[in-house]
Amino acid sequence: MIPVGEYEAWSRRYQEAGIALEGREDLVEQVANELEQGLHLLGATAIEDRLQDGVPETIEDLKKAGIKLWVATGDKLETAIAIGRSTNLIATDSNIIIIRGTSRRPVHAQMVDTLDRFFSEHATAGGHTALKTSTEGIIPLQQINTGVSSIVGPENGERPGGFILVVDGAALLEAFGDEENKSILLRLAVLCDGVICCRVSPLQKALIVKLVKDGLGAMTLAIGDGANDVSMIQAADVGIGISGEEGMQAVNSSDYAIAQFRFLKKLLLVHGHWSYARNGMMLLNFFYKNIVSVGVLWWFQIHDAWSAYHVFDYVYILFWNSLWTVAAVVGIGLFDRFLEDSHTLMEVPELYRYGREGHWFGLRHFIIYMIDGVVQSAVIYFLILYTYMSPTAREDGYDVYLYEFSTVMAISAVLVANLFTGLNATAWTWWLFFAVFIGIIVQWVFTVIYSLVSPNYAVTKLYGNNYYLFHSAYFWLSLSLTVIIALAPRYLWKAWKFGFNPGDLEIFQLLQKNHSSISQDHKDGRRWYQDEVVRTDMVTGITSVDRGFDFATEEHGVEMQRVKSNLSERRMNKRLGFSRSPTSKGKSAFSSLSRAFLRKTASPTKPPLE
């Protein structure tokens, strides 16, 4: 303890030193040293910069999904490597390659030497030609002298776990100043399993994203939580902001906002994967259905001397994309899911490769769908045309009118287009069922009503079709044959794919369909996981969804309810004159434990997946 008189005298000297015009820093330090004598350390306080929950698991699963991870941080090199180890970006058997701008050797020489030492088969490849070269094969491992052997550990360069590139801001500054250095840096980064950039400025973060996006032509995603990440988020194709302790600047500048980093896993592996599949299938089916209608019109031109006359009534062309076929395509874009249970995508991140490899959209798939449309339009046109080219299809013996059999083509085209779109869907929910059949129903109702309109009210070309079509065997036979023949190739291909040549995706779809217990077990596991995350309070029984202490201490928060419960319990015990015995407390704990055990044993057993 410092006496009051001694402290007041010292305080006056400290204030005089603080306002001195000359030698202020030396005087302040001298006065401070007078007080800091003979002290005993009783304790210390520090601020711990911990990782959020689930960050290591999320990064590990993203690596399994085949996503290349770059970490850009302002921390020093030692801290950045420690972060890489704690987040599973650097595995225990990973080799660390360090490129430092403060080294005695130039950055260019360090990168070239690294390529020669560890990737000799790629060192001589020039330009961007070797950027997408596979890294499979035997890599000659040699030990590299990084100058930080205590950080990288012994046997660095001889471990079998691949390489992690660590670059500091000074090295990036030199590398970005030359196109050749940028090309070498990018080539070296692609050959490594991960990249950590330390001591980088906000501008350098944006330049890193631009280097990958322009150099590889790859889709880039940037995620950050602070104002220093705004330039990086805006430079990427997809920007994600985390609403954390560093303000809302990153969130306001991003495309998507999440509360914690671990939510990135579900955003990418589930919602991003579903969204890509839905949009890819929607685009393919949208182009396909237009090929069907245009194909029927085009085949008719062969028999009409290329007069540009419409084979069926123009009203069917007018409503083709607005009423008859639009709902089915939009239904796939909104409701389809190639795996209905999101838990499978979360547990098996390797399935994300279907999105990276363009499984649902590409030039090959586009050509196949266009061929489907052309073939199906030919089946619809020629089969119906030659069916009605008999002596007559009417009971009265008169010739068949053009709009009589062409209306059959229009109805058959809508049936084939919508059912083909539904055949390409995976999750047949009630909404998707409604989207596929609503256009068919609307067209049939419109055809009936339009055929009943008398020429006394409006001039129509379909008056009386309800009588001639619906009472004719040609009509029903043509519809059934065209639908079956047009859809048969796609149906047979899907049957062969699932039955004789299934991929990983088809296997999981089959397991999900045949083993409903898997889905139920996933749901039980998800509920158990959520119960752990949300932190149910054992005193009040209130479930807290808040991650921080401040929210829990609000008026209706868990902490305040706990305080109220304790006060009420003490007040009641004081009135009744007893306290809870240890025996009753043990019984209560045993009852809670038995209920938890029953809940776990009641859940279905997960069958093994092979």
| Number of Cβ atoms within 10 Å of the Cβ of 104 | 7
CB under 8 Å to 501, separation ≥6 — which residues?
none
When computed from its CA atoms, the radius of gyration of the chain, rounded to whole angstroms, is 35
**Distance (Å, rounded) from C-alpha 515 to C-alpha 607?**
9
Residue 73, annotated as binding a ligand: yes
β-strand pairing of 238-242 with 163-168: unpaired
Angle at 567 between CA 564 and CA 571, to 5 degrees: 140
Residue 228, annotated as binding a ligand: yes
Residue 68, annotated as binding a ligand: no
Residue 58, annotated as binding a ligand: no
What residue has token string 């048969």?
Answer: 488
**Distance (Å, rounded) from C-alpha 111 to C-alpha 192?**
12
CB under 8 Å to 487, separation ≥6 — which residues?
376, 416, 419, 420, 423
Residue 205, annotated as binding a ligand: yes
**3-class secondary structure, 53:** coil
Residue type at 585 in one-letter notation = K
**Closest by CA position to 34, among listed 16, 12, 10:** 10
**Distance (Å, rounded) from C-alpha 318 to C-alpha 399?**
28
Task: Give exposure, 477-488, as e/b (b: 16+ Cβ within 10 Å).
Answer: ebbebbbeebbe
Going 457 to 459 to 464 to 465, the CA torsion angle's sign is negative
**Distance (Å, rounded) from C-alpha 304 to C-alpha 481?**
25
CB 367 within 8 A of CB 291: no
CA distances from 124 to 121, 189, 315 (A): 7, 16, 65
Residue type at 167 in one-letter notation = V
Task: Give exposure, 209-223, as e/b (b: 16+ Cβ within 10 Å).
Answer: bebbbebbeeebbbb
| Number of Cβ atoms within 10 Å of the Cβ of 352 | 22
DSSP 8-state code for residue 310: -
| Number of Cβ atoms within 10 Å of the Cβ of 58 | 23
Residue 181, annotated as binding a ligand: no
Instruction: Summarize the annotated binding site as residue ranges.
Output: 73-75, 199, 205, 225, 228-229
Enumerate the known binding-site residues for ATP. 73-75, 199, 205, 228-229
Annotated binding site for Mg(2+): 225, 229
